[in-house]
Amino acid sequence: MDADSKDNKAILIAVLSLLLLMVGCHAGTPRSRGEAAPPPPPAAPICTLSAEPATVLKGQSATLTWNSQNASSLDLEPAVGTVQASGSQPVTPEDSTVYTLTAAGPGGSASCTARVAVTAPPPPAPLERGGAESPASEWFPWPPPQWSLKYLVPDALVTEGAANMDDARQRIQEALRRAQIDQWSIYPIKGGGFAVVGRLERIDEEGRPESPRFSINDDTLTKFTLSGYLKALLTANPGRFRVVALLVTSLSVNAPGPAPTPEAMTHLADTGPNTLPAEVAAQPITPQVKCEALIYEFYRPNPEADPQPVVPSALTAIQHLAGAGLWTEEELKR
């Protein structure tokens, strides 16, 4: 081999060595083959919170509804505490309140708010006619006359969801129509609310209407009054009779008045209205307003005997109310 060939071979070996050295340096960089890219940072939490309705009367409830994402813990304040990632919760604030939902997670924290405004219900308007207070005869007597039985009607049947007294009145009158009680009177109650008094009916020993149901000649009474019907009972055939009064009020119906004799009931009007005064109809339904059923049962054993109130009744209030057809036993036992 001549000298030139040896030189060319040496140069080639040197170039190849340099290339191998460069490849080796490149393979030694920090990220080796097959190594994964670092994970992205965790997503930040997000949340929403709303109140429905946004404005309530004092004592009424609103419902808070919320949703969240990317949160491992949620806290709803005031007064609620730890909650799930989504849900709803009724609240009854005493005053206007801003509720805050705080969502926390690996990606940080976030908060959202909802306000519930609380307004005071208007005071019951005075019942006036021409600038003067209504005569006592236009009011339902208070305390109510001694009843045979008393029963708290479930809220769902009369007051639940009702905005005002007129809504409750419509539900009661629908129950009376369903029961085929075709006469009733409506009396305002001093202190708020009203009473609906149904027509006197003849009943059997199980509390079901007898036939004929309305056997007393009361057609001359265009509106119901207890005094009028008690007087009518003096000429009625022997038997059992019933009157149902439905009171919608926030007042406590605990202490009864005197037994409902004709003399004690003369303060009721001879003819009562069958609609509510506008100022009573507009009174709001608050959680304190309830519907109390008062059952008045009378018995006349023979034509010579005066009718006597039955206190207490041998039947239950549910037997009377369901027997009259106002509601079913299942509805009354809710």
Q: Is residue 74 part of a domain?
A: yes
When pLDDT is cut at 50, 70 and 90, the band that residue 253 belongs to is confident
Contact between residue 186 and residue 169 where contact means Cβ atoms under 8 Å apart: yes
Half-sphere exposure of 214 (CA within 13 A, CB side): 17
Of 56-70, 102-116, 124-138, 263-277, where does the model show the most confidence? 102-116
pLDDT score for 14: 64
Q: Which of 194, 268, 184, 262 is nearest to 218 (CA)?
A: 184
Strand order of the sheet with strand 81-83? 55-57, 108-119, 97-105, 73-77, 81-83
264 and 209, same structural domain? Answer: yes
Q: Last residue of a domain, which of 62, 87, 119?
A: 119
Is 149 within a domain?
yes
Q: What is the mean pLDDT of the chain?
A: 80
Look at residues 252, 200, 256 and name the one whose alpha carbon lies nearest to residue 228: 200
pLDDT at 152 over 70: yes
161 and 260 share a domain? yes
Whether residues 201 and 61 share a domain: the answer is no
Give the pTM: 0.56
In the chain, % of residues over pLDDT 90? 45
Tokens of 132: 């003067």
Query: How does pLDDT run across 1-37, given as a tens digit for each residue?
Result: 555 566 666 666 665 666 555 555 444 455 555 567 7
Give 211-227 pLDDT, tens digit per residue. Answer: 888 766 554 444 445 55
Chain segment 260-313, per-residue pLDDT in tens: 554 444 334 334 556 788 888 899 999 999 999 999 998 888 878 878 888 889
Q: Which domain holds residue 90?
A: 46-119
Do 145 and 74 have their domain in common?
no
- What token pair was written down for 16? 């190849």
Res 136: pLDDT: 41
| Judgement on whether residues 158 and 302 belong to the same structural domain of the protein | yes
How many domains, in total, are found in the chain? 2
Lowest average pLDDT, out of 172-186, 189-203, 226-240, 289-303, goes to: 226-240
Close Cβ partners of 3 (under 8 Å, ≥ 6 residues apart): none
pLDDT in tens, 95-123: 999 999 999 999 999 999 999 999 876 55
Q: How far is CA 92 from CA 84, 109, 117, 126, 161, in A?
A: 20, 27, 11, 29, 15
Domain annotation covers residue 153: yes
User: Residue 156 falls within a domain, yes or no?
Assistant: yes
Both 184 and 302 in one domain: the answer is yes
